[in-house]
Amino acid sequence: MARKSDFSESFQSTKRGRRTSKNSQLFSAEEHARFEEMRTQFDEMPQDDGPPTGDRWSIWWDSEPLQRGPEPRPEWVITDHGAVDYELGVLKTGKEADVFLIERAVPGTDRAVIMASKRYRSAEHTQFNRAGDYTAGRGAKRSRDARAMAKRTTFGLEQAAGRWAAAEFDALKRMYNAGVPVPYPVQILGREVLMEFIGDGRAAAPRLAETKPDEVELESLWEQAGEALRRMTELGFAHGDLSPYNTVVHDGRLIVLDLPQVVDLYANPLGFDFLTRDVENLGSWFTARGIARDEVEDLQAELKALAAMP
């Protein structure tokens, strides 16, 4: 769909190219009148490239195909060219990124969806000081990028921030496809990752740490936690920072969030340590509420065997 400014620019260029010399005879008086009428119609439209409503045009088509979520996509994903994004406010702040709530809608229709927009700060503004522990084993594809990040140049800092966003988006895609309970990754553009919003309306789902499950609910959530950890281990990943504070509960389902620091179990020298810590951090919350300690230790042993840990 052509935007208003696209039409305006094309007609403005016709006007700039018009001369008063003999070249003006290329068009009849009637044609000139028609061109003038068309210019008047579109020149009255806004000259900026902003949407008629909303805070920005949808950025869906600004992302390359590989920067969009896996197919088949959920029905709620909006890909229309004329869609717009509304900024609804900050959902939460973190050490390396801030999460915003946005609504993507198609003007003139009732089609709209609430999403989470995670925007990574540039590397000089991050508060995350132990990044090296998590990124060990991740290599920059281009030596130029690696040198720039090592020297902490402006370009290098920008590349580093982009790598956190790319790592999370890639992990979300792979885990979503493998059945790990994570938000559907909609798209990535630069340092911004758009994903499924887990909650009702504009209210975010509660963190696991904020819930008070009964005995049956507790057992169900523990089983879900174990299954999520098994599937991540089968993929060769450790979450790296799993806890009751970055898992949420929605309609009885345990959902895993915050994956930029995802760790390769085999490429990272600390990979197995992170896996052990993930199980312990999450397991401690469950044992404090009634799950037997033996179940946590059994899960540790199972995951070690699954990962072929020594």
Structure tokens at 212: 């008070």
Task: Return d(Cα 242, Cα 223) in angstroms, integer.
Answer: 16
Q: What is the pLDDT of residue 22?
A: 46
Q: How confident is the model at residue 144 (pLDDT cuts 50, 70, 90)?
A: low
Is the omega angle on the peptide bond into residue 72 within 30 degrees of 0, that is, cis? yes
Q: Are residues 246 and 223 in the same domain?
A: yes
Q: How confident is the model at residue 244 (pLDDT cuts 50, 70, 90)?
A: very high
Q: Are residues 60 and 187 in the same domain?
A: yes
Q: pLDDT of 37-74, one tens digit each?
A: 545 444 554 546 789 899 999 999 999 999 999 999 99
Q: What is the pLDDT of residue 123?
A: 61
Kindly state whether residue 293 falls inside one of the protein's structural domains.
yes
Q: Are residues 184 and 295 in the same domain?
A: no
Q: Are residues 74 and 196 in the same domain?
A: yes
Q: What are phi and psi of 110, to 5 degrees?
A: -100, 15
Kindly state whether residue 144 falls inside one of the protein's structural domains.
no
Residue 189 pLDDT > 60, yes or no? yes
Q: Are residues 175 and 212 in the same domain?
A: no
Q: Are residues 188 and 225 in the same domain?
A: no
Burial of 250 (0-12, 13-18, 19+ CB in 10 A): middle
Indicate whether this model's pTM tops 0.85: no
Please, what is the average pLDDT of the chain? 82
Name which of 83, 103, 79 is nearest 91 in CA terms: 103
Kindly state whether residue 27 falls inside one of the protein's structural domains.
yes
Burial of 219 (0-12, 13-18, 19+ CB in 10 A): middle
Residue 14 pLDDT > 90, yes or no? no
Q: How confident is the model at residue 150 (pLDDT cuts 50, 70, 90)?
A: very low
Q: pLDDT of 206-224, one tens digit each?
A: 999 999 999 999 999 999 9
Kindly state whether residue 175 falls inside one of the protein's structural domains.
yes
E-assigned strand segments in 236-289: 237-238, 247-250, 253-256, 263-264
Kindly state whether residue 72 falls inside one of the protein's structural domains.
yes
Q: Is there a contact between 163 and 145 (Cβ–Cβ < 8 Å)? A: no
Q: How many CB atoms lie within 10 A of CB 198?
A: 19
Residue 10 pLDDT > 50, yes or no? no
Domain ranges, residue 265: 206-306
Kindly state whether residue 146 falls inside one of the protein's structural domains.
no
Q: Are residues 178 and 243 in the same domain?
A: no
Q: Are residues 122 and 87 in the same domain?
A: yes
Q: What is the pLDDT of residue 277?
A: 96
What angle separates helix 154-178 from helix 215-234, to the nearest 10 degrees? 120
Kindly state whether residue 155 falls inside one of the protein's structural domains.
no
Name which of 209, 198, 210 is nearest 251 in CA terms: 198
Structure tokens at 272: 């197995």
Q: Are residues 188 and 248 in the same domain?
A: no
The dihedral region occupied by 260, where left means phi > 0, alpha psi between -120 and 50, and beta the remainder, is alpha
Q: What are phi and psi of 298, to 5 degrees?
A: -65, -40
Q: Are residues 68 and 180 in the same domain?
A: yes
Q: Are residues 125 and 181 in the same domain?
A: yes
Name which of 152, 97, 155, 91 is nearest 121 in CA terms: 97
Kindly state whether residue 71 falls inside one of the protein's structural domains.
yes
